[in-house]
Amino acid sequence: MNRKKIFFILCLMAAMIMVAFSVSAAEKINTDPKQQLPDPDTKPATIDKPVKVFILMGQSNMLGFGKVGPEEKNGTLEYLTKKKGKYAHLVDDHDNWTQRKDVRYVQVMHRRGSMATLRNEWLTVKGNVGPELQFGHIMGHVLEEPVLVLKSCIGNRSLGWDLLPPGSERFTYDGFTYAEYGNSTLKWPENASLSEIDALKVNWYAGKQYDDDIASAKKVLADIGKYYPGAKSYEVAGFVWWQGHKDQNPAHASRYEQNLVHLIKTLRKDFNAPDAKFVLATIAFGGWDLKGPGLTVANAQLAVSGEKGKYPEFAGNVKTMEARDFWRDKSVSPSGAGYHYNNNAETYMEVGDALGRGMVQMLTKPKKKAFNEEQTELQDDFMKLKFGMFLHYNMATYKGVQWVAGYPKPSDFNPGGKVDTDAWADAAVAAGMKYGVLTAKHVAGFCLWDSKYTTYDVMHPDCTYQKDLVAQFIKSFKSRGLKVGLYYCWRNPGFGDPKKHKVLPPECDPAKHTLKEQNEFQMKQIAELIEKYPDVFYIWNDGLDPEVMSAEQAADFFKSTRPNVLVSTNWWDWAKKGTPYADIAVKEMRHFPETNKAPGETCWKLEQKWFWGEGFRASSAKGVMGHMDKAYSRNSNFLLNVGPDKNGKIIESSIKTLAEIGKLWDPNATPDLRQ
């Protein structure tokens, strides 16, 4: 019995086991990213369903320059499959290349003024190989629907010029202005006249390759039955991107991230496919030795990945696959053409494999979970922080109350100069704290950031401060190695009369808006905070509990906004405070029970109240540390509150106590040793 038959029997047995346990193909392929694919069954897909279309774009390495032969040459596909036994699904029992009858591969290219069709066939090995080969095999293995892998691209093209999508704006770099979409001049001196700019024009324009590639792809889709025999309809299920070599200059590299974000959004719009997934691979020239503008491009590519959280709208629908591990040196490759990855077929196969598995992860929707269904790595990391600073500073500081009624004048918020947030951060460091949480919006509804949803904030024309205090706070704490969180007060029905405690800005006055409208407004503001300030790791939600929305709804909202943001919620009902509802359970001036297992945070006042008041003094370091000990022994962090005064300064007695805590506290000691 030969190797292929043995492998086939093993795959068949594995398939029977998978069926017996009702494991889907998508779940199977996610279980072990390094598993070999089974041989294609050579059966065609039924065409009673729309064809799943995946559009591949980029430049020459997306075209594919992986050498197929000869078998004796290290790094060729024949060498890898026949000498090394890799990618067994590509070779049949007679050592011929397999063919997938459920995956159609179409390659088009716009050249000499029109579209040329280079490939229109069932997926197999032919000519050079690119990422499409392994990507197509994975899609065919996972999906029951017919699959069309549609490649529309050409080599030697940059995102900063040739592939610039419509709507892209010009920018300046190092004394030059660079083209916006449609310009026929690549760049010109900032002070150049119109005639000087015109003199630099070429027979091309920014974005022409984008237009050509999109037009070619649309032409294929308009005649779907010609390119996928028998097909009558299709769905653009995903986009695949691998590009960046020509953007390795300082100017284009500096703009790559912004251009890539715009490209993703524009492609979805142009193909009327708002839900299409987008997977990309980093450039990898030289592997982990990649430097300079190339490294800038790779970092930009990583930045758009949805799980990174920098672009909340990309969570679950954009994924970047790291490709630098797939670089192969010229000594084990068919050539030394580094710009084409030394023509090493293994590089192209592994990139295609990563892109395929990344796409599968997005296409496979995980079961939705409430926050508290399982302890996550994020929660574990939070518990390691142990000690943080709570900063109650907002309109209440100037009104002499803890809960402000009505809408005070924006001019009432007046520190008399720039708030020294650096001093806040220094005090936190002196105490041994590892994170800080600022009241971005409290009961007054006044916002300490420049919100696009209200004018009732620090940038209001009548507010003398005219600075983004949230941004200040983040910069100061981050510069000292501290993590940053933001407090946001929700309008819980428990607040009662909407004419008294507003909680929300005037644009969403609770006396004039329904609970549903209030929730929509609050979710928009929180999404704004998370998007505007990517360094925020934690949102402290006051008043958010099941009276506002269920734990499942809250989890769905926050995790779709940014998967890696941590969330705590402070229940309205005192008897239920500390009950698990979100990532972190919260108690105020009360301790968790000794049996507590939920990741907790005990919030304590250093002074007499949360917000500053005349004559307030800090508690002693010894008294505070006793509560710290109890909190830590009950699976809880300790968030110690200070209330800066009307000048934005932490009072002297609090500064002194914080410094004393820092000298006495050993974060690695047991509670008994600290007493």
How many angstroms separate the CA atoms of 92 and 5, rounded?
9
Q: What is the pLDDT of residue 669?
A: 58
Sheet of 171-173, strands arranged across: 171-173, 176-178, 187-189
Q: What is the CATH number of the domain that holds 537?
A: 3.20.20.80
Instruction: Give the H or E element holding residue 320.
Output: strand 318-321
Range 435-456 average pLDDT: 97
Q: What is the CATH number of the domain that holds 263?
A: 3.40.50.1110
DSSP for residue 36: P
Highest mean pLDDT (candidates 369-378, 386-395, 568-577): 386-395
Residue 189 lies inside a defined structural domain of this protein? no
Candidates 405, 489, 389; CA nearest to 440 is 489
Do 524 and 516 meet the contact criterion of CB atoms below 8 Å apart?
A: no
- Residue 653 and residue 600 share a domain: yes
Q: What is the pLDDT of residue 365?
A: 59
Does residue 214 have a pLDDT over 90? yes
Candidates 324, 327, 325, 320; CA nearest to 355 is 320
**Backbone Cα Rg of the chain:** 29
pLDDT tier for residue 369 given thresholds of 50, 70 and 90: low
pLDDT in tens, 234-288: 999 999 999 999 999 999 999 999 999 999 999 999 999 999 999 999 999 999 9
Residue-by-residue DSSP string for 365-425? PPPP--GGGS--HHHHHHHHH-EEEEE--STHHHHTSSS--S---GGG---SS---HHHHH
Does residue 152 have a pLDDT over 70? yes
Q: What is the pLDDT of residue 574?
A: 87
- The first and second tokens of residue 558, run together, are 């926050």
Residue 174 lies inside a defined structural domain of this protein? no
- Residue 401 and residue 345 share a domain: no
Q: What is the pLDDT of residue 658?
A: 98
- Residue 237 and residue 305 share a domain: yes
pLDDT tier for residue 370 given thresholds of 50, 70 and 90: low
- Residue 127 and residue 66 share a domain: yes
- The first and second tokens of residue 15, run together, are 């398939």
- Residue 419 and residue 324 share a domain: no
Residue 529 lies inside a defined structural domain of this protein? yes
Residue 403 lies inside a defined structural domain of this protein? yes
pLDDT in tens, 132-149: 999 999 999 999 999 999
- The first and second tokens of residue 368, run together, are 């939705």
Q: What is the pLDDT of residue 18?
A: 38
DSSP for residue 326: G
Reported as half-sphere exposure (CB side, CA atoms, 13 A), residue 615 has a value of 1
- The first and second tokens of residue 606, run together, are 């250093």
Environment class of 2 (CB within 10 Å of its CB; exposed 0-12, middle 13-18, buried 19+):
exposed
Q: What is the pLDDT of residue 41?
A: 79
- Residue 404 and residue 285 share a domain: no
Range 480-509 average pLDDT: 94
Does residue 12 have a pLDDT over 50? no
Global pTM exceeds 0.85: no
Q: Where are the beta strands (DSSP E) in 221-272?
A: 234-242
Residue 192 lies inside a defined structural domain of this protein? no
- Residue 418 and residue 304 share a domain: no
How many angstroms separate the CA atoms of 445 and 491, rounded?
10
Q: What is the pLDDT of residue 4?
A: 42
Q: What is the pLDDT of residue 23?
A: 42
Q: What is the pLDDT of residue 93?
A: 86
Kindly list the distances between the CA atom of residue 76 and the CA atoms of 67, 333, 471, in Å, as whole numbers in the listed order: 5, 7, 53
pLDDT in tens, 590-608: 999 999 999 999 999 999 9
How many angstroms separate the CA atoms of 273 and 390, rounded?
44
Q: Where are the beta strands (DSSP E) in 168-294?
A: 171-173, 176-178, 187-189, 234-242, 277-281
pLDDT in tens, 607-651: 999 999 999 999 999 999 999 999 999 999 999 999 999 999 999
Q: Where does a domain end: 363, 395, 413?
A: 363
Supply the range of the domain harboring residue 642. 387-665
Residue 636 lies inside a defined structural domain of this protein? yes
- Residue 100 and residue 68 share a domain: yes
Residue 675 lies inside a defined structural domain of this protein? no
Do 139 and 353 meet the contact criterion of CB atoms below 8 Å apart?
A: no
pLDDT tier for residue 167 given thresholds of 50, 70 and 90: very high
- Residue 329 and residue 421 share a domain: no
pLDDT tier for residue 161 given thresholds of 50, 70 and 90: very high
Q: Where does a domain end: 329, 363, 397?
A: 363
- Residue 642 and residue 607 share a domain: yes
- Residue 120 and residue 245 share a domain: yes
Q: What is the pLDDT of residue 561?
A: 85
Candidates 637, 671, 584; CA nearest to 383 is 637
Q: What is the total count of domains within the chain?
A: 2
- Residue 659 and residue 565 share a domain: yes
Environment class of 35 (CB within 10 Å of its CB; exposed 0-12, middle 13-18, buried 19+):
exposed
pLDDT in tens, 396-428: 999 999 999 999 999 999 999 999 999 999 999
pLDDT tier for residue 35 given thresholds of 50, 70 and 90: low
Tell me the one-letter amino acid at 132: E
Residue 187 lies inside a defined structural domain of this protein? no
How many angstroms separate the CA atoms of 344 and 67, rounded?
6
